[in-house]
Chain A
Amino acid sequence: MRAADSLAMPSAAEGQPSRPLLCPSVLELIGNTPLVEIQRVRDGVPATVQLFAKLEGFNPGGSVKDRPALRMVREGLESGQLHPGKTILDSTSGNTGIALAMIGAALGFPVKLVMPANVSRERRQVVQAFGAEIVLSDPLEGSDGAIRLCRTILAEAPERYFKPDQYFNEANPRAHFHTTGPEIWRQTEGRVTHFVSGIGTGGTIMGTGRYLKSRNPRVQVIAAEPDDAFHGIEGLKHMASSIVPGVYKEHELDAKIGVTTDDAYAMVYRLAREEGLVVGQSCGAAHCVALRIARTLSEGCVVVLFADFGSRYLSTNLWAGWTPP
């Protein structure tokens, strides 16, 4: 049984910025996601160590990627690189595609996305629901194949497109420096000692980590990555075998820890059944690393970023064929 006091009705947090109750656009709902304390999946973490997950699935596009997508589009508009008549083009098999499709729909820009042909059915459907066009790349070449095909499309008609280029656009980490980082600092009242996140483009961990270290240089920033190039952790990159994103600066990290696909999947199943959080594969990997770090501490406040919820992975191998234990 949970502690009785945890069953009390929550009271409104005073003085905390929160989402507006009434706003002019879905874009105003991006950010200000909640932190939730991880109560059960702690595996030997001392009671003196707090463990929080930042639930980015609460963004309107369903993931952390709403933040950099919005920032890249807004900076594109401000610089004049994006203007009416242009199409937003990028290579993304994942949440950035959904975010760009949503933002494009909200702002009235057409969106074209290059993604490997083995992208999950529900991802393809949600992107198309927002009206975006999909170009499929060779599934055997993964996200790097989509990056290369996107570059070819852009080179053929550069005047037609605005390419946010999440892998090389500093607006990506900047989004997290200005939103995710300050939110975590505020939500933990400056007590955060460790920040853990998966790495795909590296934007989340770079921007959030920079902000937190600017407030307290002792904050440790730790990346979770697949332990191998051939893996099943959607959204994460094995950096040593990938096209390294320009925004990713490994020397700024305090540690980078590899996680097997099996361990990441097992953690997803546990988080669902023990915490009531059905999250994506990358969150399972990130939580494995958070536990590994938190177990070594005598006191501290560990924040792990859960990039999305799991409903958009139900047709993937993570859940397809899975049977309750």
Chain B
Amino acid sequence: MSQVRIPTPLRKYTGGADAVEASGDTVGALLGDLEARYPGIRERICDESGQIRRFVNVFVNGEDIRFLANLDTPVRAGDELSIVPAIAGGC
């Protein structure tokens, strides 16, 4: 199991939890498991083609998966995955 940190706008899918558990050998598989547990959440993170949306950053143990292997980035039990909006909000 890995821990997944959830940003505020997506916590409506996780019952308000800011961190949940999910499993998978890769980021893609883990997002699939996340979807099975919290239906609807994956399409907010990924576009129609299944790729991470342009304005979403996904980190594994603090490393941006765009600089690793994207959805094929390996994930091990105990890793922490963070889903972070690419913007800080502004104003």
Binding site for B on A (CB under 8 A): 65, 92-96, 115-120, 123, 139-146, 166-167, 200-201, 228-238, 241, 261-262, 265, 281-282, 316-317, 321
Contacts and interface: CB of A to CB of B under 8 A. Distances in A.
A140 B54 contact: no
A319 B64 CA distance: 16
A231 B53 CA distance: 10
Interface string B69-91: 00000000000001111111111
Given A140-B18, A261-B55, A232 B90 contact: no
Interface string B1-35: 00001111110000000100000000000000000
Contacts of A321: 66
Given A141-B7, A143-B88, 13 more contacts: A96-B91, A140-B83, A142-B85, A146-B89, A230-B56, A232-B56, A232-B85, A234-B89, A241-B9, A265-B54, A282-B90, A316-B87, A317-B54
A230 B57 contact: no
B90 A230 contact: no
Query: Which among B57, B83, B85, B89 has the highest number of chain A CB atoms within 10 Å?
Result: B89
Contacts of A231: 55, 85, 87
Contacts, number: 107
Contacts of A145: 8
A140 B5 contact: yes
Closest 7 CB pairs of A and B: A232-B55, A143-B89, A235-B90, A93-B88, A94-B90, A229-B9, A200-B91
A38 B90 CA distance: 26
A118 B82 CA distance: 12
B88 A115 contact: yes
12 contacts: A139-B84, A140-B5, A140-B8, A141-B8, A143-B91, A145-B8, A167-B91, A230-B9, A231-B85, A232-B54, A235-B90, A236-B90
Given A230-B7, A231-B55, A118 B87 contact: yes
Contact of B88 (A119, A201, A230): A119
Interface string B41-73: 000100000000111110000000010000000
B84 A93 contact: no
A283 B15 CA distance: 34
A167 B90 CA distance: 12
Contacts of A94: 88-91
B7 A140 contact: yes
Interface of B: 5-10, 18, 44, 53-57, 66, 82-91
Chain A interface SS verdict (over half): loop
A98 to B, nearest CB: 11
Contacts of A282: 90
Contacts of B44: 230
Nearest to B86: A317
B91 to A, nearest CB: 4
Contacts of B10: 230
Contacts of A92: 91
Contacts of B86: 118, 232, 316-317
B7 A142 contact: yes
Contacts of A228: 9
A104 to B, nearest CB: 18
Nearest to B18: A140
B69 to A, nearest CB: 15
B89 A93 contact: yes
Given A140-B18, A232-B55, A261-B55, A166 B85 contact: no
A244 to B, nearest CB: 13
A230 to B, nearest CB: 4
Contacts of B57: 118, 317
A126 B91 CA distance: 15
Nearest to A96: B91
A166 B91 CA distance: 9
B10 to A, nearest CB: 6
